Structure 1
Amino acid sequence: MPTADLAIADITDADVPRVIALWQACGLTRPWNDPAADIALARRGAHSTVLIGRHEDAIVATAMVGHDGHRGWVYYVAVDPNSQGKGLGRTIMASVEAWLRRAGVPKLQLLVRRENAKASGFYQSLGYEESTSVMLAKWLDGRTPTA
């Protein structure tokens, strides 16, 4: 599939089950995070969304993007396992960057699990660099898992 055939748009209500299925197929979901709730939260305001890349009727790529006015964040970057290696990840990330540029956001940050060398290599090939900052986290709802 040529990347030119990838149509990028914001997620719709009808897309949610297929997006969650894609995230599960890509190993992006965790038991302590409800992907439907994450989607609903991203769609709640003007500062975030879930972008989907569609080829014909199939959702083959996604990225959740948002910002605080200064820093943009991207999560749930996924490409259908049967469509990987065709430039779709680059296309969805270019769409994320364009979305943030239109919002006037100068910096994009993302998190990669330490054990995910493939994802880290992908982002480095796009010009992302490992930050010197250390991320700290605290669950405010009583959960204790780390992710």
Structure 2
Amino acid sequence: MSTTIRDITSADIERVIELDRRLTGTPRRNYHEKRMAAAAAEPNSFVTIAAADGPVLKGFVFAHILDGEFGGTGPVGVVETIGIDPDQRGNGLGRKLMAAVEEAMRKRGIRELVTQADWTEHAITRFFQSAGFELAPRIVLERGTGDVSDFEAPLAQQVRDSDEVDLSDPSGDDYAALSRDRVPVRSLTEADYPFIVSIDRKVTRRDRSTYYKRKISEVTKESGVRVSLVAEVDGLFAGFVMARTEYGEFGRAQATAILDTIGVDPANAGHNVGRALMSQLLTNLSSLGVEKVQTQVAWNSFDLLRFMARCGFTPSQRLCFWRKLN
């Protein structure tokens, strides 16, 4: 029977989940169901393609379009998951799926594909190489969530003005002992959208309102656990960090959270807003059982790299790949 390349439908979801479980060893039902729901809600932002012999799905690929993720300067297509039935490997299904993704992205005006893989995953790195991908000029950074003692206290603590703190007591919690330098942090909500867009426009000089509209919907509605945060100074919006868990892009385990973007109002530069957000994010993730957080940074974003280094991030064992589309 000849192979058909077509869009994934709701009838394929169980086969996708089972095939992915065979390939990764991890059931990711929630990830796939949420991705399918997001694709149905925003079909222009997602590409979900199946390779099938009759009604039987033999392979699949999930990709989506992002504009501004990880500090990017333009829209890109992100290949986040590709799976081929082990019994069908060597039959060219992977190349057919990638060709379909490329065609779909070209029709949407996308001229660049990006993806990731662990450097030890030799089969997938060889596949990306054969598909025309090269190493991208980006670095994947990560750090554990279990120990935030390297942060200056009490940047993420929320202490009421009425709280009495004995600064002379060395036996007290260091976070509380320096609470006079606190930056209040709270959960991000949909109502924060205009403030986030305003800060981002100040920093990037670009209008990325569409990106943030989708991203806020993702982190407040689609993600199983809300971990994105907002910082305030004197009761005013001062900065934000957007992160998520549970999706499992690029084959990551759910014990890894993804830091998508962080922004601080230039008016609050030097007030430790960014470190407050990062400290609280790590604390919250640790309490949820998330072991580490990862992000991407362009190799020449030196200010951001310095900030991430001060926050304890180091290069991970993951590689970024990209391919230019003609």
TM-score, structure 2 length as denominator?
Answer: 0.40
- Cα deviation code 1:78-135 (max 9, x no counterpart): 1101100110111001111111011110100011123211100111011101112113
| CA–CA distance in structure 2, aligned partners of residues 77 and 67 of structure 1 | 16
Q: What amino acid maps onto 1:39 in structure 2?
A: M
Kept in 1, the 8 Å contact 2:13–2:32? The answer is no
- Indicate the larger mover: 31-40 or 50-59: 31-40
Q: Are the structure 2 counterparts of residues 114 and 32 from structure 1 closer, same or farther at C-alpha, using a change threshold of 3 Å?
A: farther
| CA–CA distance in structure 2, aligned partners of residues 38 and 28 of structure 1 | 19
5+ residue gaps, structure 1, are none
Give the superposed CA RMSD. Answer: 2.5
Q: Give the alignment partner of residue 122 of structure 2, picking from 100, 117, 129.
A: 117
Residue 65 (structure 1) shift: 1.3
| CA–CA distance in structure 2, aligned partners of residues 135 and 26 of structure 1 | 23
Q: Are the structure 2 counterparts of residues 52 and 14 from structure 1 closer, same or farther at C-alpha, using a change threshold of 3 Å?
A: same
1:6-25 alignment to 2 at 5 Å?
Answer: 6-25=3-22
Residue 73 (structure 1) shift: 0.5
Residue 42 (structure 1) shift: 3.2
Higher strand share: 2
Q: Which SS does the other structure have where 1:104 is aligned?
A: coil
Structure number, greater radius of gyration: 2
- Cα deviation code 1:10-45 (max 9, x no counterpart): 221111111111111111756696332233223320
Displaced runs of 4+ in structure 1, greater than 4 A?
A: 28-33
Indicate the residue corresponding to 2:34 in structure 1: 37
Indicate the residue corresponding to 2:87 in structure 1: 82
Kept in 1, the 8 Å contact 2:7–2:50? The answer is yes
| CA–CA distance in structure 2, aligned partners of residues 140 and 19 of structure 1 | 23
1:131 paired with 2:133, answer: no
Indicate the residue corresponding to 1:53 in structure 2: 51
Q: What amino acid maps onto 1:76 in structure 2?
A: T
Matched residue count: 144
5+ residue gaps, structure 2, are 68-74, 143-241, 246-284, 295-326
Q: Percent identity?
A: 26
Indicate the residue corresponding to 1:68 in structure 2: 66
| CA–CA distance in structure 1, aligned partners of residues 138 and 27 of structure 2 | 24
